[in-house]
Chains A and B, each alone.
Chain A
Amino acid sequence: MINTDLPEQIESTAESRVERIVAAGPGGALVLAGIATTIVVALWFAFYLLVFLPRGSLQ
């Protein structure tokens, strides 16, 4: 009987670790998503401003 509480204790510790990490904010995910989004939007602007608009109007 002395060991019956152990699994719950371990789970509880893991959960609180997750909680602590989530509470600190998803900094890495934001950096990754931020870099990826910036690259896509910057390429879109590059084509829009350097290729599409210089080709001029249709009439």
Chain B
Amino acid sequence: MTVQEDHRSAAVAERIEKRWATISVIIIVVLALLAAVAGIHRSTMPQARVETIDPSRLHLAGEFIESNLGSVLESNGSVTVRAIGQQYSFTPACILVPAQTPITLRATSADVVHGILIQGTNINTMLVPGYVSEQLMRFEKTGERLMPCQEFCSFGHEGMWGKVKVIDKAEFESKAKSGGRLSCVGE
């Protein structure tokens, strides 16, 4: 083996490694740009601010007491849905929302980490005890959609399913007239 040969093989290995590193960097940059496109397209956006809450006092006072859970029509025409995830159900287990209306889902967990995702949409967020998850959403068509827990939360996880019922906007408004918090539990 000569010194020249040694240099040649080292140079080849270095050149190939540099080219492969360049390809890797290009792939990473493209994926980062596509993540930016997803943000601009509004298919997904990180939550704007972190909100904390005491999970041991959810049921006693504050935003997530039982009587405040469900859907409420706000004065600006939008709808706010408040929900809790706990082992092994969502409260309310059936969420009632109007079609073609901006909706804000506010949810948290009373025990361990859970997740909410709504079938056939990009609505997908984790529910972490101690934090309020806020997710914007909008449904164009009426109908029912499944809402499973998407984060393994122990042995009953596979039975933790909720439902979202999207109804006509006018029908929702007439139901909301009587006040209170709306849900479709028991319907």
Q: A residues engaging B (CB < 8 A)?
A: 12, 15-16, 18-20, 22-26, 30, 33, 37, 41, 44, 48, 52-53, 55-59
Listed A/B pairs (24) with beta-carbon separation below 8 Å: A16-B1, A16-B5, A19-B1, A19-B5, A19-B6, A22-B13, A23-B5, A24-B12, A30-B16, A37-B23, A48-B34, A53-B38, A53-B43, A55-B43, A55-B121, A57-B43, A57-B138, A58-B42, A58-B121, A58-B123, A58-B135, A58-B136, A59-B42, A59-B137
In chain B, what residue has the closest Cβ to A27?
B16
CA distance A37 to B20 in the complex (A): 11
**Chain A residues with CB below 8 A from B123, complex form:** 58
CA distance A39 to B13 in the complex (A): 25
A58-B43 contact in complex given A25-B16, A52-B122, C-beta closer than 8 Å: yes
The binding surface of chain A is classed by DSSP as helix
B31 adjacent to A25 (CB under 8 Å): no
Nearest first, the 8 A-B pairs at minimum CB distance are A57-B42, A22-B9, A23-B9, A16-B1, A59-B136, A55-B122, A23-B8, A19-B9
